[in-house]
Amino acid sequence: MATMVFVNFPVTDIKVSTSFYEKLGFKKNPDFSDELVSCMVWDENFYIMLLSHERYQTFIGEKTIADTKNVSGALAAFTLPSAEAVKEFGERASQNGGQSIHLDNGIPEDVMYGLEVQDPDGNCLEPVWMAM
């Protein structure tokens, strides 16, 4: 059995965040979604759980939810089939309330290309393509 990855993001507005991720190409799984959570499916192995702050807090006890617009807490990287697909993903994010940033790390684009994509709450995804 393949490993499934669930990334949990705290969000301030479930509806806005759900719409943003749908525009990026994720599909909402209504079986695992309610007014406090949206289960967003990329493929059979990769999911993003959008959790209201109220629901997210139940997972972290007394810790404080990070202000990801100002503090980086995690980068969730995943591969796409081409550098062009990475660029298109970033463009969709920028057009729909997110932000897409290309950080030049000195690796030629024909070897690897990636972006930092921030959702409306500042949670970070890193779509990447690598020549294998």
* Mean pLDDT of all residues belonging to the chain: 95
Number of helical (H) and strand (E) elements in the chain, helices listed first: 3, 9
pTM higher than the cut 0.85: yes
* 50-54, 106-110, 117-121: range with lowest mean pLDDT: 106-110
Does residue 67 form part of some domain? no
Position 100 scores a pLDDT of 97
* Count of structural domains within the chain: 1
* Residue 27 in domain: yes
62 pLDDT higher than 90: yes
In this model, does residue 1 exceed pLDDT 80? no
On whether residue 25 sits in a domain, the answer given is yes
Instruction: Give a yes or no: residue 10 inside a domain.
Output: yes
Residue 68 maps to a domain: no
- The H or E element that residue 130 is part of is strand 124-130
In a domain, 56, yes or no: yes
Position 117 in a domain: yes
| 72-91 pLDDT tens trace | 888 999 999 999 999 999 99
* Residue 103: per-residue pLDDT: 86
Q: Write b or e for each residue in 71-103: b if 16 or more Cβ atoms lie within 10 A of its Cβ, otherwise e.
A: eeeeebebebeebeebbebbebbeebebbbeee
In a domain, 92, yes or no: yes
- Identify the CATH number of the domain in which residue 41 sits: 3.10.180.10
Distance set, CA 7 to CA 63, 91, 107, 111, 131 (Å): 18, 22, 27, 27, 25
**Least confident among 25-34, 57-66, 101-110:** 101-110
Contact 53, 102 (CB under 8 A): no
Which range of residues forms the domain containing residue 20? 5-62+74-130
Over residues 85-118, the pLDDT tens digits come to 999 999 999 999 999 999 888 999 999 999 999 9
- Helix, strand, coil share (%) of the chain residues, nearest 5: 25, 35, 40
- Give Cα separations from 44 to 18, 97, 124, 126 (angstroms): 18, 26, 21, 19
Taking alpha carbons only, the member of 83, 89, 97 closest to residue 125 is 89
> Range with the lowest mean pLDDT among 25-39, 64-78, 85-99?
64-78
